[in-house]
């Protein structure tokens, strides 16, 4: 946790970016504000802690230091804060502001429900980077990369947007973004030589099919893909089967259909325990 620490945020304002995306702008609480929140850009991820349904306070062991995770895991699951992973959409250091995009759909989960109902001044606890080069960044193209492939759904959109803004001018990029509605298309800023394809979910269209039908640039590629876990595994298999070196494909399952983040976390903990027992 040396490159991460707890922060207190307060809501500055909210804005509906598209039918499925709500942007919450945060400020830091305290004299330092967000000065020590050191986002490295790109696909920078961090944690937000939300109150359990029916509770007003998110119970987070912020005083536990490096032992916070074990202490959080040991809390009564009916009362411990709900932990969710989000991507920094944009950090404006000169203004002391941080944007986070929430995907909001019918029947939203507790995090999206919080975002939909939060008001200016509402507070929330975050676990974020205190060093710009940290383990919460996965987009790291190796030397010798000739062009970049980006692909993901709405959950990966903030990361893709951050990556496009970070990439050096004239870099060749081909990006595919799957959305639920045509009105969810956003204007994305980049200096790269980027072609962005928006894939509206439905019918026989899918992220993997759209990428597989494309004519890709020549040269050594690097791919960053993120979104629903099963779709991302399928897309990764397709890329590796069509000439991509496994080491040149970074993939992240941001969510899994039919599973909550608590269930995914429990599976991860169980897998780690099994691995340690067999070592």
Q: Going by C-beta distance under 8 Å and a sequence separation of 6 or more, which residues neighbour residue 34?
A: 7, 26, 27, 28, 91, 93, 96, 97, 98
The pLDDT value recorded for residue 272 is 52
Per-residue confidence band for 108, with pLDDT thresholds at 50, 70 and 90: confident
Model confidence pLDDT, tens digit, residues 214-226: 999 999 999 999 9
* Mean pLDDT over each residue of the chain, to the nearest integer: 92
Model confidence pLDDT, tens digit, residues 135-163: 999 999 999 999 999 999 999 999 999 99
Range in 48-62, 63-77, 101-115 the model is least confident about: 101-115
Q: Any idea what the Cα angle at residue 152 is, between residues 81 and 210, rounded to 5°? A: 155
Per-residue confidence band for 38, with pLDDT thresholds at 50, 70 and 90: very high
DSSP per-residue codes, 73-108: HHS-TTTBPEEEEEE--EEETTTTEEEEEEE--SS-
Mean pLDDT (whole number) for 40-46: 97
Q: Copy the structure tokens of residue 76.
A: 């009564």
Can you list the domains of the chain with their CATH numbers? 4-129 (2.40.30.10), 147-255 (3.40.50.80)
Per-residue confidence band for 205, with pLDDT thresholds at 50, 70 and 90: confident
Q: Which long-range contacts (CB under 8 A, 24 or more apart) does 58-65 make?
A: 58/82, 58/124, 58/125, 60/6, 60/125, 62/6, 62/125, 65/1
The pLDDT value recorded for residue 273 is 56
Model confidence pLDDT, tens digit, residues 182-194: 999 999 999 999 9
Model confidence pLDDT, tens digit, residues 224-277: 999 999 999 999 999 999 999 999 999 999 988 766 566 655 555 554 555 566
Mean pLDDT (whole number) for 99-105: 92
Over its C-alpha atoms, the chain yields an Rg (Å, rounded) of 19
Range in 52-56, 201-205, 211-215, 218-222 the model is least confident about: 201-205
The pLDDT value recorded for residue 106 is 66
Ramachandran angles phi, psi of 268, nearest 5°: -65, -45
The pLDDT value recorded for residue 88 is 98
Residue whose C-alpha is closest to residue 160's, from 46, 23, 41, 42: 42
Mean pLDDT (whole number) for 42-67: 94
The total of other beta-carbon atoms located within 10 Å of residue 26's CB is 26
Mean pLDDT (whole number) for 19-27: 96
The pLDDT value recorded for residue 47 is 97
Q: pTM (2 decimals)? A: 0.91
């Amino acid at each position: 946790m040396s490159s991460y620490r707890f922060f207190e945020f307060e809501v500055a304002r909210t804005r509906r970016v598209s039918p499925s995306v709500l942007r919450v702008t945060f400020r830091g609480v305290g004299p330092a504000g967000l000065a020590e929140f050191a986002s490295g850009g790109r696909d920078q991820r961090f944690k937000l802690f939300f109150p359990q349904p029916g509770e007003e306070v998110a119970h987070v062991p912020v005083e536990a230091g490096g032992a916070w995770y074990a202490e959080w895991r040991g809390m009564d699951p009916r009362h411990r804060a709900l932990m969710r992973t989000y991507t920094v959409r944009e950090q404006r250091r000169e203004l002391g502001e941080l944007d986070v995009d929430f995907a909001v759909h019918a029947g939203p989960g507790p995090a999206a429900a919080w975002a939909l109902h939060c008001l200016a001044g509402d507070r929330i606890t975050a676990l974020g980077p205190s060093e710009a080069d940290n383990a919460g960044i996965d987009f790291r193209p190796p030397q010798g990369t000739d062009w970049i492939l980006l692909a993901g759904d709405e959950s990966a959109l903030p990361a893709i947007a951050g990556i496009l803004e970070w990439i050096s001018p004239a870099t060749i990029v081909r990006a595919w973004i799957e959305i639920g509605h045509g009105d969810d298309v956003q204007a994305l800023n980049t200096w790269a030589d980027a072609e962005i394809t928006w894939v509206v979910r439905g019918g026989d269209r899918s992220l993997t099919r759209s990428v597989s039908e494309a004519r890709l640039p020549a040269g050594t590629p690097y791919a960053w893909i993120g979104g629903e876990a099963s779709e991302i595994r399928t897309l990764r298999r397709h890329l590796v089967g069509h000439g991509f070196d496994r080491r040149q494909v970074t993939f992240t399952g941001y969510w899994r259909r039919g599973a909550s983040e608590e269930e995914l976390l429990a599976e991860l903990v169980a897998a780690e325990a099994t691995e340690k027992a067999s070592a």
